[in-house]
Amino acid sequence: MRAFPRLPLAAATLATLLIATPAFAHTATASPRAHQWAAGWSTAVQRPSQSWYPTWAEAGFHNQSVRQTVRVGTAGSDLRVRLSHAFGTTPLRLTGATVGISTGGASVRPGTVRTLTFDGSASPSIRPGARPASDPVRLPVKAGDRLSVTLFFNGPSGPATFHNVAMETAYRADGDHRADVSADAFVQESSSWYFLEGVDVAAKPAGGRRDAVVAFGDSLTDGAASTPGADNRYPDQLSRRLSAEGRQRPVLNAGIGGNRVLSDSACFGEKATTRFRHDVLDQTRVGTVIVLEGTNDILMGETAANACTTTNRRVTAAELIEGHRALIRAAHARGVTVIGATLPPGKGLESGTPAETRAALNQWIRTSGAYEAVVDFDRVLADPLNPEQLLPAYASKDGLHPNDAGYRAMADAVNLDSL
């Protein structure tokens, strides 16, 4: 599902090269005890492309620092940062990386900057396809805290595995500014995340508790058209609702704008049936997934083919249903509860084959019993006077994506007991 055009431009084997830890950044190494990790934040990564708006992904970085902000949904005393070179073709040489508590924009709270190491190296070489996690660092965080992760590349990084529609600003500076607490050097902005895939937080022993919820889908899950930097995507608002009701648990966002159930895309990620294993089932302590996918399979079957939409064949409701069944089978094989979400109305889905296909898929989601539970986003977001359109109070300007209020309505529609 297309991202809203008003966005601002704003385990793996490591071949390591050991260097001295930079003196300017504090290394708060966590205790050597075994950690029980809980997912604090994650995103679904994509191959480098220019899909919705210009990004830094294809050019990559050279003698540049890139600072990225994420919101963690879990409290703890130690953390680790997960990077991704999933779509790289040559070794990625990371000169150094830090993490600290964000105070807004590209600023970091003084005294919180920590140097990250990977298998003991502050300057690792990461093989193509690898997804390394940093060594644990001591940095206490609360649920809702925002972290800044800064990566510095002295030499050329090559194209960057990234997440396109971050609805968050990334900052870039020329030279090595990984230890800066000031935002002064970070004068360039983008709206994507680069090489960054997750943050895990050390959890108290919980007897194998599987409390993470993964929201899986397209741009409706990704949060397109929500207010950038405000964490108003529906998974964020669901996380806040859980916290307000004393049921705090991580809600991870595995949405990719433009993603489809049945077709890969050069710009919009691997098809859902391929990426589901890594983006959902391999997440730390995952117990529940909410599936909201199919709109782009329907819409792109009605559009002209281009580099991003190929293949753009028209799909049937029966094919989409079988794709959903494949996701359900995969989740059940891992003991994960899977909740189905109906597809909301919107521009391009009002009539003809798109409307019929959406209606047939939604009817199956509601009535088949294939899902353990259903959240009916269609009925929540639809205008009662015109059910083929979003309620005006919930609609963004493009008529396809909800606004902040619409995403709040989606979060409120989830039965917390079903999680």
For residue 34, the model assigns a pLDDT of 72
* Cα dihedral value 315, 320, 322, 327, nearest 10: 140
Average pLDDT over residues 126-149: 97
- The pair of structure tokens assigned to 404 is 């902040």
Per residue in 290-317, pLDDT tens? 999 999 999 999 988 888 988 899 999 9
What does DSSP say about strands 124-126 and 92-93: parallel, antiparallel, or unpaired? antiparallel
Phi, psi of 281 (to 5 degrees): -70, -25
Share of the chain above pLDDT 70, in %: 91
- Name the CATH superfamily for 210-418: SGNH hydrolase (3.40.50.1110)
Per residue in 315-341, pLDDT tens? 999 999 999 999 999 999 999 999 999
- The pair of structure tokens assigned to 361 is 């898929």
Per residue in 53-71, pLDDT tens? 789 999 999 999 999 999 9
144 in helix, strand or coil? coil
Residue boundaries of the structural domains of the chain: 14-200, 210-418
User: Under a CB-based contact definition with an 8 Å cutoff, are residues 188 and 173 in contact?
Assistant: yes
Per residue in 212-253, pLDDT tens? 999 999 999 999 999 999 999 999 999 999 999 999 899 999
pLDDT band for position 209 (50/70/90)? confident
**Max alpha carbon distance in the chain (Å)?**
66
Residue 345 buriedness (CB in 10 A; 0-12 / 13-18 / 19+): buried
CA triple 11-15-17, angle to 5 deg: 130
Smallest CA-to-CA distance from 358 within 402, 317, 392, 410 is with 317
33 in helix, strand or coil? coil
What does DSSP say about strands 337-341 and 373-375: parallel, antiparallel, or unpaired? parallel
Q: Which residue in the block uniquely carries the two structure tokens 């929540």?
A: 380
Residues 40 and 240: their CA atoms lie apart, in Å, by 14
Residues 216 and 277: their CA atoms lie apart, in Å, by 11
Per residue in 373-385, pLDDT tens? 999 999 999 999 9
Per residue in 95-111, pLDDT tens? 999 999 999 999 999 99
Residues 297 and 330: their CA atoms lie apart, in Å, by 20
